[in-house]
Structures are given as C-alpha cells and as structure tokens.
Chains A and B, each alone.
Chain A
C-alpha cells in the first residue's frame, strides 16, 4: 500500500512539473469558468425570469467535466508507456515493489492528476454559482461529484491502454472513446431510425462504450429536479472497477 501511494505521488509530482499541465489547466479553466461566470453575472436575472437558470447550471457543470475529460486523456496517455519506453520502470521493479503495486500506483497517480484538475474547474464553477445562482447549489454540488466518475473512468482506461501500447495510440483511443461515449445514445437513436440492423449493431458496440452521455444526462436531471436513475453511475463505477482489476492483473504478465 505504501509503495502504491509513493508511486502515485511521484507520478502526480512529475505531472505537475510539466509545463503542459499548467498551460492546459489555465486554458481550460479560462474556457470553462470565465464564460460561465460572465453569463452568470450578465444574464442571471434574465434567465431567472425565463426559468432557464437550471440549464445554466447544467452547462457550467458539464463544461467543467468535458474539459477535465479532455485533459485527462492528454496528461495520462504516457503515464505507464513512458516508464516502459524509457526503462525507468526497471529501477522501480528492481526494488521490493510488485507489479500489482506499480500498476495500482500508476492508476492512482493518474486519477489524482485528472481529479485535481477537475476539482479546480468544478470548484471555480461552484464558487460562481454560490455567488449568483444559489437556488441550484446543492444539486450542482451533487452533479459535480457524479461527473467526477466519468473523469476517473476515462483516466483509468487511458492509463490501462498506456501500459500496453505507445502513449500516442492510447491517446487516440482515449479521445475516440470520449467522443463515442458522449455520442453513443444519439448514435443509437440515429442508427435505429435508419435500419434495425444498424440499431442493433450500435447497441452492441455501446456495451463497450463508456456511455458518458447517460451520466451527463443523469447529472442534468438532478440539477433540473427531475427523477434520475442511478444505473448510469453504477455502470460507470462497475466499468471503472473492471478496468482497475484487469489492469493490475494483466500487468503481472507484461514484459518490461
């Protein structure tokens, strides 16, 4: 356990030393929070009259999660693959550290990196809402917590991939999973409309999809005060656990 946490903090420290970390974080924070706060300040009264404040809160939370997801793929795609290609893993595994501990440490470090970014985006959105949109604050808080699950899931997936392929390939698959995960529901509806065969095909493919759309829909429903099923979150958590266990077990047989 100690070795796992040590490895995680080491990865987190190294990520924070990357200039790309701070540049991307600053850019995404600006893109996420500044427009949101600007709209909050300028348009809250008008939106309140139109009954659209919940939509504003939904968009704020959604933006924070989407930008965190984008960053998670970019930052974590090389977490293990760089250790393997540069052979830095040798100096770790030549110590009393098992492969399971190593891989668990990489997972934890990657999650710490992406969640810390997401937390900063989410906190900024939350503070903006606390200042100008208090009526949705508890629901927004819950939604932000729920939306951290897809961020963690995608981070775990990309970290797992980076243990078995070059970082760039892991990144491409990660971004594809991100896009397909957001569009999976819409694709299913469009495909079913075209032909039952295509609908079945996409439904089958969606069994492997991250189904990010359903979690985003769930978070939106909570902010709007609508009834929401917790199944999408259970799916995401289950998926994350499968990736975690598979990643740790498979790395046991990995040549380094």
Chain B
C-alpha cells in the first residue's frame, strides 16, 4: 500500500458567503509528481495555502504524512515555492537561504553545504552574494524554488515554478522535479503550463470553480480517444464512407484527413484500406489527446467555457 503524502478530507474554504473550495477529497502518494490544474479562480492557490497551513479550512481537514497541516510540526516535511514570490530583497540569496535554513532547523554545520546545493540546483551560484532587489522575475522564481529545496523535504509544493522562466531554466526545473521524484520525493505541482505538467506529472487533478472535476493519470483521462492524421493522395470517397460506417468522425486537413477515436490496433488496417483503394500513403501520425484538450473539455463540461488560461 502506497504511503499518502498529502490527504484532503472534505476540505472546504469560504470567503464570506462564497465557497472558494468545496468538498475536496484527495490523496497524493509518496514518490509521485502530482499536477494540480485549473483556470483562474478554480481554488488552486487556496488549496495550496490550506495544505501549507497558511489558512484554516472552513470545513474538513488536510494532513501531511498523517500530521495535521495546521500543526507547524508537519511543515518539517514540506518545501513551498509560491507563485510570484516576494523575497526579502535587501538580502543576498546566501543570507536569505541561511535564514530559511535556521527556520527549517537545519544544523549549523550543514547550512553552508545546503545553501550551496540549493543555489546550484537552480543555477544561481554565481549571484549568491548579490542583493535580491537586482534580480529578474525569473531569477526570483528560481530562488523561490531553491528555498523550497532546503533541508530536502520529502514533499514539495510548487506553484507555477516555470512561469516567467526562459526555456533553459524551464527545462532545468522540469529535470529537477523529475530528479526529486526519482530520489523518493513527492512534488505537488500547480501550473498553467500544460506541456510542463504533461511531461513530468504522474497524475493530474483538474479543478474548476472550487471543485475537483477530474483526477487520474494523463493516460487514464485520455484513454481510447486518439487521433490519426493520414497524409495520403488522393483520399478516396470509399475510404471516408468506411470511416463513417465505423462511426469515426473525420475532418479534412492539409494533405490528408484527421480521424477521431482511432485505436492503435486499427492503424494497420486503415493503412491497408487506403493502399488497396489506390491511394499513395505518405504518413500516418497517431497521437493521444493532449492535456490541453482534456483540460478544456473538463472545464467546459463542468459548465464554464471561459477557462482562464
């Protein structure tokens, strides 16, 4: 049985009369990268604040490795990098991370090594003695990730860690997340950049208007719904009739046709049909639905067509 790193039980949060989060039941397991998605106002940041003990829930409870997340003791297990972090900009990264090391309870003899490792992990070693006020948004974002790594907590909460980063930094953060998971860590990743989520997450949850609307692996959520792009000339009408007879939707695209709902095992037969009908086949590209399509579908089916991506 897998160890639960984060658990939410009927978790809810109300601001005045409006519920920002309702009846969230969720389990995140040790050793997985968990993607947490949703349009603006879906309740992602509220959920993160509840998990990190920054707010008291209006209903339910949440726990970190079995300890109530409101108990500061449970915070020994977590590292948290918020979106748009505000850091003490009169300090240098060295001073800032040393300060957080002390708060984290890291012994004095290990602090220097820990700070050096965290800064190296996000590529900020060379600027460790500069004041943070001179940093760009991207550098501050990476420094926020570095402070979350201090003490190598078993659970990381990362809120939009790749937002505002250049492609190389984004790639480095993605690699860092995967390295963390491979070394037994758990990462709870909230992000709007769905390609990043798709690349690193083992499971995803999609939130909308304070409710959990989808939960599962990317494969599970998109199973059996693949698209086949056929590049051929000509596309015989009898081939299209056969597709209709089999209940497949299709649409013409440049140089061929795109067919919906094609299973992997059907591809050789479709290729054979085309060739038998005298068509010259140039290419067949099978792909699953992307996370972006899943996301839009989940949000729209929940009654909101204005996903704030």
Which A residues form the contact surface with B (CB < 8 A)?
Answer: 2-3, 6-7, 10, 13-14, 17-18, 86-88, 90-98, 255-256
Find A94's partner among B78, B86, B102, B105 (CB 8 Å cutoff).
B78
Whether the Cβ atoms of A92 and B103 lie closer than 8 Å is: yes
Contacts of A94 in B (CB 8 A): 52-54, 75, 78, 80, 157
Contacts of A13 in B (CB 8 A): 91, 95
Apart from the given pairs A92-B103, A94-B157, A96-B76, 9 other A-B contacts in the complex at a CB distance below 8 Å: A6-B102, A6-B103, A10-B88, A14-B91, A90-B82, A93-B54, A94-B80, A95-B103, A96-B72
Check if B87 is an interface residue, CB within 8 A of chain A: yes
Check if B250 is an interface residue, CB within 8 A of chain A: no
Whether the Cβ atoms of B104 and A96 lie closer than 8 Å is: yes
Give B63-83 interface residues, CB cut-off 8 Å to A: 72-73, 75-76, 78, 80, 82
Whether the Cβ atoms of A97 and B103 lie closer than 8 Å is: yes
Nearest Cβ in chain A — how far from B78, in angstroms? 7
Contact string against A for B residues 82-108, beta-carbon threshold 8 Å, 1 for contact and 0 otherwise = 100111101100010001101111000
Whether the Cβ atoms of B72 and A87 lie closer than 8 Å is: no
Whether the Cβ atoms of A97 and B72 lie closer than 8 Å is: yes
Check if B147 is an interface residue, CB within 8 A of chain A: yes
Whether the Cβ atoms of A95 and B75 lie closer than 8 Å is: yes
A93 to B55, CA, bound (A): 10
Nearest Cβ in chain B — how far from A171, in angstroms? 20
Find B86's partner among A6, A10, A86 (CB 8 Å cutoff).
A86
Which B residues form the contact surface with A (CB < 8 A)?
Answer: 49, 52-55, 72-73, 75-76, 78, 80, 82, 85-88, 90-91, 95, 99-100, 102-105, 144, 147, 157
Nearest Cβ in chain A — how far from B97, in angstroms? 11
Whether the Cβ atoms of B82 and A91 lie closer than 8 Å is: yes
Whether the Cβ atoms of B102 and A2 lie closer than 8 Å is: yes
Whether the Cβ atoms of A88 and B91 lie closer than 8 Å is: no
A177 to B190, CA, bound (A): 46
Whether the Cβ atoms of B88 and A14 lie closer than 8 Å is: yes
Contacts of B88 in A (CB 8 A): 10, 14, 88
Contacts of B85 in A (CB 8 A): 87, 91
Contacts of B90 in A (CB 8 A): 14, 17-18
**Closest CB pairs A-B (n = 7):** A86-B86, A94-B80, A17-B90, A6-B102, A94-B52, A95-B103, A96-B75
With known contacts A13-B91, A256-B54, A95–B100 Cβ distance under 8 A: yes
A6 to B104, CA, bound (A): 11
A90 to B103, CA, bound (A): 13
A18 to B91, CA, bound (A): 11
Contacts of A86 in B (CB 8 A): 86
With known contacts A13-B95, A91-B80, A98-B72, A3–B54 Cβ distance under 8 A: no
A238 to B52, CA, bound (A): 36
A88 to B105, CA, bound (A): 19
Contacts of A256 in B (CB 8 A): 54-55
Nearest Cβ in chain A — how far from B90, in angstroms? 4
